[in-house]
Every structure is written in C-alpha cells, then in structure tokens.
Homo-oligomer: A and B are copies of this chain.
Amino acid sequence: MGMKENVSKPLDRLSSELAGDMAAVNTLIRERMASRHAPRIPEVTAHLVEAGGKRLRPMLVLAAARLCGYQGDSHLLLAAAVEFIHTATLLHDDVVDESEQRRGRPTANLLWDNKSSVLVGDYLFARSFQLMADTGSMQVMRILANASATIAEGEVLQLTAAQDITTTEDIYTQIVRGKTAALFSAATEAGTVVAGADPAVQQALFDYGDALGIAFQIVDDLLDYGGATTTIGKNVGDDFRERKLTLPVIKAIAAADADERAFWERTIGKGQQAEGDLETALEILHRRGALDAARADALAWVERAKQALTAAPDHLIRDLLGDLAEFVVARVA
C-alpha cells in the first residue's frame, strides 16, 4: 500500500512488551503458511512474510487483547490471520500496481509471476479464515469479513477515482479506510472481542485503530511530498508521478485558481508531466497551505485516536498505543 512503516520507536517498546506473544505468532505464521501439496506457496510468501515487516497489524491485535487482560491464546490465531490478510493484499497489490519494488526487494510478481501472486494471495486469504474459525468466535469472523469487504471496496474505489481530479475528501477518506484503516480497526476491535471486553471498550479500540490508520495514511501521503518541509527527499514525488489523488493534492485542487486547475488537470488528470512539474506542484501545495492543512488533519486524527483510548482500561499498553499514535505523526512534525 506504499506506506513507509517508520514507526519503530513505540513499536519497539510494544514489541518488547509483547515479545513472547510475537514469537508464538511468528511460529504460527510459518506453520500455517506451509502447504503439503504446493511447495510453491511458502516460497512466494516467505519472501514477504520474512522481509522484515514491522508486524504492526498483528501487534495491534495482541496489544488490544492484552490491554483487556486476556490470558488465553486465541489472540495469537487472530494476529496471524490479520497478517495473512495483509500479506494477501500486498500480493494482490503487486499484481495490480505492477510496482517494481517493495520493502527494498523485487516484488513477488517479478520474482515469480502474476499467477502465483494472485493464487498465493487467495491461499493466504483462505488460511486467514481458517485461523479465525479456530478462534471459535463468530463475532471475530464477522469483523474480519467486513474489513475484507471494505478493503476490496476501497481498492476498487481507488481504481475508479484514480486520476480523477474531482475526487473529494470524502471519497479519499473512504479509500483510506479501505486501504489502511479497515485492517487496523478490525485488528484492535477483534483483539478486544477475543478478550471478552465490554462493547464500550470494543468501540474504543475500533475507533483508535480507525483513527490511527487514517493518520498513518495521511502522513504517508505527506511524506511523498517531502513532509511539511520544502526539502525534496530522495523518494519524493512517486505519488505525483503515479497521478495519485492524495490528500494534499485534493486540498490544493479545491483551492485552485484557473491556472492551477489547468496544471493539475494536465499533470494528474491527463498524465502529461514534464521536467519541473514536481517542483511546480510542491510550490502550489505550499502556496495553498495544502501540506499544512493535511498535517493538521493527521494531527486531528491522532487526537481522536488518543481520545478513544481514554475509554480503554488503564494499562501500560494503553500508554504505548497512545505513544504510537503520536509517533506516527511525529514523522511530519
């Protein structure tokens, strides 16, 4: 999904706190990834699953469950299920976007082929539902089935909104819920459900995951235009070149004069980009305050995430989740 998962500091502390659980989840992931009949499957998935991902989503499951005082082990099954859904979407995203690099390695569809990426993604998706069934909780099944539908819907919506400069902030939020926030909020909510938390706490952790996911994606969008600074980093401009309607651009288009509108129509709408256009885009984004406005939105989502946590039990992990939310937006402070 193009997110730079630079959330290491509070996540490292969460990792230490949940180290035993995470080791068990990693073992479970390796076991359930295996296929007796089709050895190609772990070959394809190992590439992604062992590529040093931060395991942010399974961590959110574990954190939510432990925060609610859970002492069983269904949260391990659920954490593995969530990571499988995430990995399946990455595999399908590789096919879709023909992206050439992910996490610094060749994508699966260059190492293997489109067929393997589609089918192995399907396999992981099926495996994730088996893991959920093993939790024995119908509510967990429902939460993750709903999240899976929202993810696919968001991706389809992103396809149809791509390069359409009339895309609104409402549509953007729906897309972001699909591509990022739906799995975050499903992870945290389902974690409370296996722990048997009461509905208010379930809702609180859902809201936390949702707001965290949206903040995360807005920050990611900002970083692609160099954050709130005017310095152009080395990975700046990918979204511009791929003609993505991200939040800063949507805000700049809403405030555009006739010349700026023509610029966005040409570069994003029609994809006619020339030398110097990225610099012009950045200049307009700054002039219209679009980067600052997007950053303010991200900060507001972080506040919502932290506010949601006030309804959660008082616990070290609750504090770490609050720190995680602040850290996400600190990347563009």
Contacts and interface: CB of A to CB of B under 8 A. Distances in A.
Contacts of A96: 114-115, 118-119
Given A38-B160, A95-B95, A114-B95, A145 B133 contact: yes
Contact of A159 (B119, B138, B149): B119
A8 interface: no
Interface stretch (A22-30, A123-131, A256-264, A284-292): A123-131
Interface stretch (A11-19, A150-158, A187-195, A306-314): A150-158
Contacts of A129: 129, 141, 144-145, 148
A37 interface: yes
Contacts of A123: 149, 152-153, 156
Contacts of A38: 153, 156-157, 160
A115 B158 CA distance: 11
Contact of A95 (B118, B120, B152): B118
A114 B136 CA distance: 36
Interface in A155-179: 155-157, 159-160, 174
* Most chain B CB atoms below 10 A, which of A116, A129, A148: A129
Contacts of A37: 153-154, 157, 174
A138 B137 CA distance: 8
Contacts of A89: 122
Contacts of A144: 129
A270 interface: no
- Interface band, chain A: 35 or more
A114 B152 CA distance: 14
A241 interface: no
A127 B114 contact: no
A88 to B, nearest CB: 8
Contact of A122 (B130, B133, B138, B152): B152
A143 to B, nearest CB: 9
Contact of A126 (B41, B116, B132, B148): B148
B133 A148 contact: no
A142 interface: yes
Given A126-B148, A130-B149, 14 more contacts: A37-B154, A37-B174, A39-B160, A40-B159, A95-B118, A115-B159, A119-B152, A119-B155, A126-B145, A127-B149, A130-B145, A133-B138, A138-B138, A141-B141
8 contacts: A40-B160, A41-B153, A41-B156, A92-B122, A96-B114, A115-B159, A126-B148, A136-B138
Interface of A: 35, 37-41, 89, 92, 95-96, 114-116, 118-120, 122-123, 125-127, 129-130, 132-133, 136, 138, 141-142, 144-146, 148-149, 151-157, 159-160, 174
